[in-house]
């Protein structure tokens, strides 16, 4: 009796895993570009006077809060990107299953 490994065509599975990893990596790059834009926006932000007001029902973040959030997001993305690179061989070599 042939094992499952002998009956499965490995090339399409490997191509699919490689394609999925490429999509994942491109998504990380897009998030990085969005964070870079957020950092530029935070750098240009003006305090605009006092926050809130008698008629305001919500408040905008201060430039410092925006910069801190962009920096925190950038660090989190860097950690995730390093982990993706470290596990690249594992992610590419196995099938990505939907659960």
Cβ contacts of 72 within 8 Å, gap of 6 or more: none
Q: Are 80 and 24 in contact (CB under 8 A)?
A: no
Read off the tokens for 4: 């499952």
Crossing angle for the helix pair 63-86 and 10-44, nearest 10 degrees?
A: 160
Length of the chain: 99
Predicted model pTM: 0.68
Q: What angle do CA 43, 45, 49 make, to 5 degrees?
A: 140
Lowest mean pLDDT, pick from 3-7, 65-69, 79-83 = 3-7
Mean pLDDT of 32-58: 77
**Residue whose tokens read 């982990």:** 83
Mean pLDDT of 55-62: 75
């Amino acid at each position: 009796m042939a094992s499952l490994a002998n009956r499965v065509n490995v090339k399409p599975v490997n191509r699919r895993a490689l394609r999925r990893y490429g999509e994942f990596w491109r998504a990380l790059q897009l998030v990085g570009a969005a964070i870079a834009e957020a950092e530029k926006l935070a750098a240009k932000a003006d305090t605009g006077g006092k926050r809130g007001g008698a008629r305001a029902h919500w408040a905008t973040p201060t430039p410092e809060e925006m910069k801190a959030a962009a920096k925190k997001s950038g660090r989190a993305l860097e950690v995730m990107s390093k982990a993706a690179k470290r596990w690249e061989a594992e992610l590419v070599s196995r099938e990505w299953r939907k659960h």
